[in-house]
Structure 1
């Protein structure tokens, strides 16, 4: 049944799509345009998101793999921060399917009716403009607040979403915080946005570290944008030969790295702006090895020489040459 409110929302969307104003070129209007004209959706139609079978949901979870476990602590922390305010937390895969959820038992029935549940399909293609689907379509953090939703039946929701990119820089999942509270203020939505972005960064960083368990993880030089979100999550994996073997999406964007660049041997010092001659590199490596050996031996030169497999006299000569004696 089409209500007056539903009809007004549909008219509002149609009017915005027909407008020639600057506002009609916004990202929100672009999403509405995709919803109506690319996907052929109607704002007043739809009985709720399609829901996967239990088997299909399990397959979606298997495809996401270990990321679900990696996200547990961050999801718990996020729910502890906003769950008491009538919000539910969803972890959705890149196909817009929630595979994990946090929510208050008292609110479960209402959220279930709205489709904010595991196994529901929230793609933009199926549901039009919505937090999960539009964040995935545009691969960015965003909030779809109430009547910004395409479907009339979703206009009671406020959904704030942040993407999670895998260790190769590809979209893997999103974290969504949704609420149906009528008294949700703009200031609180902004706080939720910060909390969701922080949770996504934590999951992304931990997933990156787990992807390169034997590597040294360093933060890329941020340049002038050291306080930007991109700089804060610009991670680089460096192997024992000081060669770059991986870079997060933020690092790739910050440093202009591509898959081809990372597939070729790439000295970390060159990438991090610390390039020096091979002779200088060798001297610094030798100096570091000697200092570590001396530290392990408590300053005992004989023990340090034995640890390095050289004679005491040879070590003394190196100490003198390197200015360490």
Structure 2
């Protein structure tokens, strides 16, 4: 972009910031944050900052389980978009790409633009951009060319989706970026759909790896991604962000696991809805052990405390 183009974009951004459009426009609200909160200049010519190799290594290590979960999904996404001049980036919560997919023939171009691991794309650092603004607004979005805050980034088109970890916390952002000038709105929409599908696969795989000994189940009647983890005692011990949204659960570890039967349905028995099959299994184990709770628990492969809890819930009393 020439000097005149820089000034034209800068003037447009500053005029929008001084208007009252931010109440109606998420884009202008982001421009305002960039200018007023982060004190950035849209006419800044200096390129994006980079972290040191040791800082990048630390960022990768912190996100390692998610990176490991994402490998196959990133490969599949790049196979769909790489041939049309796009690169794929997985950035951490600080907006630093820690994993990347790109065609060797495009690498030098993307490296010059800063679409590379270790470059800082937070909104605080780069103003309105796909990765940084996605992390702030926590939604899938596209920042297309002159929607960027910095004039030097207006040749980029970036579509980004947030990625949540196994406890429902914002963990990363998945970005598909291009420097092509001929991207149509229809193709950008396809990229957004592909990015969202990839995020669901990454989150599902990360969830499975976080609960390797649990049964992973889909909430009945729910959309893809609403997964729960159920332990050997039929207690829900984990839930994805989508499942938590439907169940009204806050992010973080589940402090109070609850019976899976409450969610999955089945014949209700007692106040907590455990199944008749579970009642029968406990009664048979108690009968076979002569009413000895410890022996019944051993036969069922559960702890004595769990056995007592299940008996109390089902209203089963020890027989002598």
Task: Give the shorter-chain TM-score range.
Answer: 0.7 to 0.9
Contact 1:17 1:24 in 2 (8 A): no
1:249 to 2:248 alignment: no
Contact 1:31 1:134 in 2 (8 A): yes
SS in 2 for 1:178: strand
Residue 311 (structure 2) aligns with: none
- Structure 2: 5+ residue runs without aligned partners? 283-298, 301-320
Contact 2:229 2:236 in 1 (8 A): yes
Give the one of 262, 266, 283 matched to 2:276: 283
User: How far apart in 2 are the matches of 1:87 and 1:244?
Assistant: 40
Normalising by structure 2, report the TM-score.
0.83
Q: CA deviation at 1:220?
A: 1.7
> How many residues are treated as equivalent by the alignment?
284
Residue 211 (structure 1) aligns with: 210
Q: CA deviation at 1:19?
A: 2.5
Residue 120 (structure 1) aligns with: 119
User: How far apart in 1 are the matches of 2:88 and 2:186?
Assistant: 19
Residue 194 (structure 1) aligns with: 193
**Which deviates the most, 279-288 or 171-180?**
279-288
SS in 2 for 1:232: coil
Residue 11 (structure 2) aligns with: 11
1:94 to 2:93 alignment: yes
User: How far apart in 2 are the matches of 1:210 and 1:139?
Assistant: 24
Contact 2:167 2:252 in 1 (8 A): no
Residue 103 (structure 2) aligns with: 104
User: How far apart in 1 are the matches of 2:144 and 2:168?
Assistant: 28
Per-residue CA deviation, residues 264-306 of structure 1 (Å, 9 max, x unaligned), is 13111223455711498463236789xxxxxxxxxxxxxxxxx
- Structure 1: 5+ residue runs without aligned partners? 290-306, 309-325
Per-residue CA deviation, residues 181-224 of structure 1 (Å, 9 max, x unaligned), is 011111111111111111111000000011111111111234xx
User: How far apart in 1 are the matches of 2:86 and 2:67?
Assistant: 20
Per-residue CA deviation, residues 231-266 of structure 1 (Å, 9 max, x unaligned), is 321111111111110111111111101358931131
Normalising by structure 1, report the TM-score.
0.81
Residue 20 (structure 2) aligns with: 20
User: How far apart in 2 are the matches of 1:18 and 1:188?
Assistant: 33
Contact 2:162 2:170 in 1 (8 A): yes
Q: How does 1:1-325 map to 2 (within 5 A)?
A: 3-21=3-21, 25-222=24-221, 226=222, 231-258=223-250, 262-274=254-266, 276-278=268-270, 281=274, 283-285=276-278
In terms of fraction of residues, the more helix-rich structure is: 1
